[in-house]
């Protein structure tokens, strides 16, 4: 079973949420990104995201990135304002050197906020990191 599989520890791969201006609509939006801060590319990146609390839950979203080069990043999805009040979880699975890695990144409810911004590797922006 999958629970019996031992995955190596994930290092230098981060999910972050960045506040940025939408170029067309001129609105400030929260967008989730994945950052590969490794010196090697990662492949077949699968990301499953969901928002939840005791009373509500969002649809499950699935994303795939074939190849994420070293020292690069990719946008995952827009986070609508309604889901910022929920726990937001991103489960990331990827391959590096033919080994499978897996990690869950959790942003606790109401933690995605301007007061929690910090410097990010690779991206020349600030973002919120998981708790």
Q: Where are the domains of the chain?
A: 2-112
| Contact predicate 31/23, CB 8 Å | no
Rounded CA separation 111/95 (Å)? 29
pTM: 0.93
Provide the CATH topology of domain 2-112: Immunoglobulin-like (2.60.40)
Closest listed residue to residue 35, CA positions, set 87, 80, 70, 79: 70
pLDDT, one tens digit per residue, over 67-85 is: 999 999 999 999 999 999 9
Whether 1 has a pLDDT exceeding 90, the answer reads no
Contact status, residue 57 vs residue 85, Cβ threshold 8 Å: no
Question: What is the CA angle 5-57-119, rounded to 5?
Answer: 70
């Amino acid at each position: 079973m999958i629970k019996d599989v031992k995955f190596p520890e994930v290092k230098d791969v981060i999910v972050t949420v960045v506040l940025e201006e939408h170029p067309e609509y001129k609105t400030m939006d929260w967008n989730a990104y994945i950052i590969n801060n490794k010196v090697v590319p990662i492949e077949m990146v699968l990301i499953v995201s969901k928002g939840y609390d005791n009373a509500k839950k969002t649809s499950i979203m699935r994303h795939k990135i074939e190849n994420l080069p070293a020292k690069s990043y990719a946008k995952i999805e827009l986070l609508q304002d309604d889901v910022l009040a929920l726990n937001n979880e991103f489960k990331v699975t990827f391959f590096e050197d033919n080994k499978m890695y897996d990690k869950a990144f959790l942003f606790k409810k109401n933690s995605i906020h301007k007061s929690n911004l910090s410097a990010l590797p690779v991206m020349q922006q600030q973002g919120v990191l998981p708790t």
